[in-house]
A and B are shown apart, each in its own frame.
Chain A
Amino acid sequence: MKSMKKSKRFNNGLVYTILIVLSVIWILPILWIIMISFRAEQGAFKPYFFPKALSLDNYIRLFSDTQQFYFFRWFLNTLFVAICSCIISTFFTLSVSYVMSRLRFRLRKPFMNIALILGMFPGFMSMIAIYYILKGFGISQSLLALILVYSGASGLGFYIAKGFFDTLPRALDEAAYLDGATKSQVFWKITIPLSKPIIIYTVLTTFIAPWMDYIFASVIMGDNYDNYTVALGLFKMLEREFIHQYFTQFAAGAVIISIPISILFISMQRFYVEGVTGGSVKG
């Protein structure tokens, strides 16, 4: 009996050691970038690991520079795009998922299959065509174009929200229909008030997307620096001609962007898990 306890303790000790080592590996890059963001010495790479002096200069310069890297403006751009596209996409996603979950009509299955097929093409295969279509409308390189690109096709991403609507009891709807409610009344007055979690999830994920996207933004904006988003700007800072001067500012920018997004993500991880496992299992 004693030896078993001992081996258990040894086992747990082993697990603790592994967990600590792994935690260090996982935390190290994050610590490093935070450290760099406070580093007083400029330049990209130093022959030593820990900074010699710390300061807030990088953050101050990041937001006060208006010449080469107008970070504050890019920040506002991204915020604007994120708010607009999150409103449109939330509306689109919720309407499509509600229709697919609750309403029955002839083309329902075909629509769902088409959505599935469209999702299998690589997303940015059509990037260039979208760019020319936007150019045809005369709005390429503008923030409006970016909003449209982020939210336009959001109707296709209905699977997770549909999974949620599927779990709402149907009896509520039917009771309302018996009382003479129309379908639109049921949608607005019964389903929407009950769907707070999925609305929050959709709003947050669509709000975060513009902060993380680099590819579409880079193709659509090209060299129009005024309308850059933060992701484009931060990527630009690491280009060969800028990296030595701006590396520490890049670190500061990265930290500033990551903090709110990380907090949002950690607070909604529950929905995320439900979305991925539940959503996919329920089809």
Chain B
Amino acid sequence: MSQIDYLMMPWYKKIPYRIYIGIKGIVLGLIAFIIAIPKRTVKICKTIGGGVLSYFRAFRYGDIKTKLSFIIMGASNALRGQIIKGILFLIGEIAFIIYMVKVGVSQILGLRHLGLVEQGWTFDEELGIDILAEGDNSMLILLYGVFAMFIVIGFILLYISNIRAAVTAEEIEASGKKLPTFAKDIKDYFDGKFYKTLLTMPIIGVLMFTIIPLVYMILIAFTNYDNMHQPPGKLFTWIGFGNFKTMLVSNGLISSTFWPILGWTLIWAVFATGLNYILGILLAMMINKKGIKYKPLWRTIFITSMAIPQFVSLLVMKNMLNAEGPINVLLKNWGLIERSLPFLTDGNWARVVVIVVNLWIGIPYSMLITSGILMNIPDYLYESAKIDGASPVRMFRHITLPYVLFVTTPYLITQFIGNINNFNVIYFLTGGGPSTLEYYQAGKTDLLVTWLYKLTVNSKDYCYASTIGILVFVLSAVFSLIAFRRSSAYKNEEVFQ
């Protein structure tokens, strides 16, 4: 269908067509992504295979010193005069071997069962009474196992760089040049390899505080680490995709909590993002309108609300909306109501109130973001539209909105994902409440993330919490995938520079 055909369509045909295009885009995107997986895997395997092959060749054709460094790390470097470098490699190897012999092997093997001996009472012959025998702690076994795996990966990287260094040293020697001294190597870390120096500390930080915990929690999603299996008293073990089954397809309480909460999360994200965005643009337009005075003053008034820490403003809101809070007091004093309105205590009221309060927080954001863009819209567009007799609503729909949307689509998508993960508004305002017996450990306004929080902190159902975390990740990943495929800025990142 051509552009003209689309424009000629009546509006009631346009909407389904848009939806159809949107869904088609998502499906095609997903298919393209899935098709790309085997291709990528093959590519990665080829890279790894090529790497292994090259090291094999290095072993076969290298001289004795290089061959030796396959067993004694750093041998090639040390024997060719790079003594400090060689010794450093050797220290790394010895430390790794000691670690593996002492604890590493048993830690990795522990991952198979996550502990076999349960804590319990055993009869002590000498004392003649029952004593508490310490059992295995599945949680620690899993944590140490994950650590051990990362140490092994780290060692493999060290080993590879050892072989590379060995081969390079041999090549340099063969070409008759002098090998770089240790001081020169160090110097290189401030020039050619400067990126390694700068990245080391941040990467260690990310490993310790993001990647290792994340791997640990992802693994937890495949165990039965719920409140019935709490170490050190009880053991937990692998159950495969059991949690996903319980969460998604079983008839139990957990899956009948999951689906409504997922639905509410999506409704919330759509409303919170869409309303904030459109109303924010309208506010920005009003402030930017010609003939309106004191523009900076108006802007500052609205920005003040977003400058206040969210937990403060939300807690204040919560108290204002209390049954005995000032809003109810004011309404009563004015004689508008007799009994307090159940702002946060009735399920449906609370859902609406949460969205409305979020407007209070979110509109200034989108006002601030879109104000600059609005000023860039050329005036002649509006003027020619006016001459053609367009109404303000029409001008907004056909000039302002498309223009702003074009620039802020990435922002809108990040906002949407941010709202799926919006913890603060729900937690501080309603705490997920009003609570209900229909749900497992959740209330009527709980989002997936606040439910996740409650499952970890209140009921210690870590395996379910991790499962939700993975599902939220899938949700965000799908939306980001679409967003990034559509934004040319991402593809042209290099060109822009």
Answer yes or no: are A and B bound together in one complex.
Answer: yes
Which residues of A are in contact with B by a Cβ distance under 8 Å?
A: 8, 12, 15-16, 18-19, 22-23, 25-27, 29-30, 32-33, 44-49, 91-92, 95-96, 98-99, 101, 103, 105, 116-118, 120-130, 132-133, 136, 148-149, 151-156, 166, 170, 182-185, 187, 211-212, 214-215, 219, 231, 234-235, 238, 247, 250, 254, 257-258, 261-266, 269, 272-273, 276-277, 280-283
Contacting B320 at CB < 8 Å: which of A23, A32, A214, A234? A32
Cβ–Cβ < 8 Å partners of A26 in chain B: 301-302, 304-305, 360, 364
Question: Is there an interface contact between A30 and B304, defined as CB atoms closer than 8 Å?
Answer: yes
Is the contact region of chain B dominated by helix, strand, or loop, or is it mixed?
helix
Decide yes or no: A124 and B423 within 8 Å by CB, A26-B301, A152-B206, A212-B309 being known contacts: yes
Cβ–Cβ < 8 Å partners of B462 in chain A: 128
Question: Is there an interface contact between A269 and B291, defined as CB atoms closer than 8 Å?
Answer: no
List of 9 A-B pairs having minimum Cβ-Cβ separation, nearest first: A155-B202, A152-B209, A125-B469, A126-B213, A129-B213, A262-B307, A265-B307, A183-B194, A184-B190
Per-residue CB proximity of B376-418 to A under 8 Å, as 1/0?
0000000000000000000000000000000110110010010
Is B228 part of the binding interface, using a Cβ–Cβ cutoff of 8 Å? no
Decide yes or no: A118 and B324 within 8 Å by CB, A127-B456, A183-B190, A273-B368 being known contacts: no
Cβ–Cβ < 8 Å partners of B476 in chain A: 120
| Complexed CA–CA distance, A32 and B321 (Å) | 12
Question: Is there an interface contact between A184 and B496, defined as CB atoms closer than 8 Å?
Answer: no
Is B25 part of the binding interface, using a Cβ–Cβ cutoff of 8 Å? no
Question: Is there an interface contact between A122 and B217, defined as CB atoms closer than 8 Å?
Answer: no
Contacting A117 at CB < 8 Å: which of B190, B311, B408, B477? B477
Task: Beyond the given A155-B199, A262-B304, please list 20 additional residue pairs across the A-B interface where CB-CB is below 8 A.
Answer: A16-B292, A19-B286, A30-B304, A33-B316, A45-B324, A49-B326, A92-B201, A99-B195, A118-B214, A124-B452, A124-B453, A129-B220, A151-B205, A152-B210, A182-B191, A235-B311, A265-B303, A273-B369, A281-B410, A283-B490
Question: Is there an interface contact between B209 and A281, defined as CB atoms closer than 8 Å?
Answer: no
7 contacts between A and B (CB under 8 A): A19-B298, A120-B417, A155-B206, A182-B191, A247-B319, A257-B309, A269-B303
Shortest Cβ distance from residue A268 to the other chain B in the assembled complex, whole angstroms: 10
Shortest Cβ distance from residue B257 to the other chain A in the assembled complex, whole angstroms: 17
Is B109 part of the binding interface, using a Cβ–Cβ cutoff of 8 Å? no
Cβ–Cβ < 8 Å partners of B473 in chain A: 120-122
Decide yes or no: A234 and B311 within 8 Å by CB, A12-B292, A281-B489 being known contacts: yes
Shortest Cβ distance from residue A32 to the other chain B in the assembled complex, whole angstroms: 6
Shortest Cβ distance from residue B193 to the other chain A in the assembled complex, whole angstroms: 9
Decide yes or no: A27 and B301 within 8 Å by CB, A45-B325, A149-B209, A152-B205 being known contacts: yes
Question: Is there an interface contact between B216 and A129, defined as CB atoms closer than 8 Å?
Answer: yes
Cβ–Cβ < 8 Å partners of A148 in chain B: 208-209
Cβ–Cβ < 8 Å partners of A153 in chain B: 205-206, 209-210
Nearest residue (CB) in B for A281 is: B489
Is B2 part of the binding interface, using a Cβ–Cβ cutoff of 8 Å? no
Decide yes or no: A130 and B298 within 8 Å by CB, A254-B316, A257-B312, A261-B307 being known contacts: no
| Complexed CA–CA distance, A156 and B214 (Å) | 14
Cβ–Cβ < 8 Å partners of B449 in chain A: 122, 124
Cβ–Cβ < 8 Å partners of B465 in chain A: 125, 128
| Complexed CA–CA distance, A124 and B466 (Å) | 10
Shortest Cβ distance from residue B222 to the other chain A in the assembled complex, whole angstroms: 14
Shortest Cβ distance from residue A126 to the other chain B in the assembled complex, whole angstroms: 3
Is B126 part of the binding interface, using a Cβ–Cβ cutoff of 8 Å? no
Question: Is there an interface contact between B316 and A122, defined as CB atoms closer than 8 Å?
Answer: no
Is B245 part of the binding interface, using a Cβ–Cβ cutoff of 8 Å? no
Contacting B205 at CB < 8 Å: which of A92, A122, A231? A92
Is B436 part of the binding interface, using a Cβ–Cβ cutoff of 8 Å? no
Nearest residue (CB) in A for B465 is: A125
Cβ–Cβ < 8 Å partners of A133 in chain B: 143, 208, 212-213
Contacting B191 at CB < 8 Å: which of A184, A250, A282? A184
Contacting B143 at CB < 8 Å: which of A103, A136, A212? A136
Shortest Cβ distance from residue A266 to the other chain B in the assembled complex, whole angstroms: 6
Cβ–Cβ < 8 Å partners of B194 in chain A: 103, 182-184, 187
Cβ–Cβ < 8 Å partners of A235 in chain B: 311, 315
Decide yes or no: A96 and B214 within 8 Å by CB, A183-B191, A277-B373 being known contacts: no
Contacting A280 at CB < 8 Å: which of B206, B211, B329, B414? B414
Per-residue CB proximity of B462-497 to A under 8 Å, as 1/0?
100110010011001100100000010110010011
Contacting B369 at CB < 8 Å: which of A25, A122, A219, A277? A277
Nearest residue (CB) in B for A28 is: B320
Question: Is there an interface contact between A47 and B329, defined as CB atoms closer than 8 Å?
Answer: yes
Cβ–Cβ < 8 Å partners of A265 in chain B: 303, 306-307
Cβ–Cβ < 8 Å partners of B283 in chain A: 22
Is B308 part of the binding interface, using a Cβ–Cβ cutoff of 8 Å? yes
Contacting A118 at CB < 8 Å: which of B190, B202, B211? B211
Question: Is there an interface contact between B369 and A262, defined as CB atoms closer than 8 Å?
Answer: no
Question: Is there an interface contact between B217 and A125, defined as CB atoms closer than 8 Å?
Answer: yes
Per-residue CB proximity of B186-198 to A under 8 Å, as 1/0?
0100111011011
Nearest residue (CB) in A for B480 is: A120
Shortest Cβ distance from residue A160 to the other chain B in the assembled complex, whole angstroms: 12
Question: Is there an interface contact between B202 and A92, defined as CB atoms closer than 8 Å?
Answer: yes
Is B322 part of the binding interface, using a Cβ–Cβ cutoff of 8 Å? yes
Is B250 part of the binding interface, using a Cβ–Cβ cutoff of 8 Å? no
**Interface-central residue, A46, A122, A153, A219, by most chain B CB under 10 Å:** A122
Cβ–Cβ < 8 Å partners of A123 in chain B: 421
**Would you list which residues of chain B between 312 and 350 have a CB under 8 Å from chain A?**
312-313, 315-317, 319-320, 322, 324-326, 329-330, 333
| Complexed CA–CA distance, A2 and B315 (Å) | 51
Question: Is there an interface contact between A32 and B214, defined as CB atoms closer than 8 Å?
Answer: no
Is B457 part of the binding interface, using a Cβ–Cβ cutoff of 8 Å? yes
| Complexed CA–CA distance, A18 and B363 (Å) | 15
Cβ–Cβ < 8 Å partners of A27 in chain B: 301, 304
Question: Is there an interface contact between A156 and B210, defined as CB atoms closer than 8 Å?
Answer: yes
Question: Is there an interface contact between B195 and A105, defined as CB atoms closer than 8 Å?
Answer: yes
| Complexed CA–CA distance, A156 and B210 (Å) | 9
Per-residue CB proximity of B21-35 to A under 8 Å, as 1/0?
000000000000000
| Complexed CA–CA distance, A16 and B199 (Å) | 53
Question: Is there an interface contact between A219 and B216, defined as CB atoms closer than 8 Å?
Answer: no
**Would you list which residues of chain B between 421 and 461 have a CB under 8 Å from chain A?**
421, 423, 427-428, 449, 452-453, 456-457
Nearest residue (CB) in A for B210 is: A153
| Complexed CA–CA distance, A29 and B210 (Å) | 37
| Complexed CA–CA distance, A123 and B418 (Å) | 11
Question: Is there an interface contact between A23 and B301, defined as CB atoms closer than 8 Å?
Answer: yes
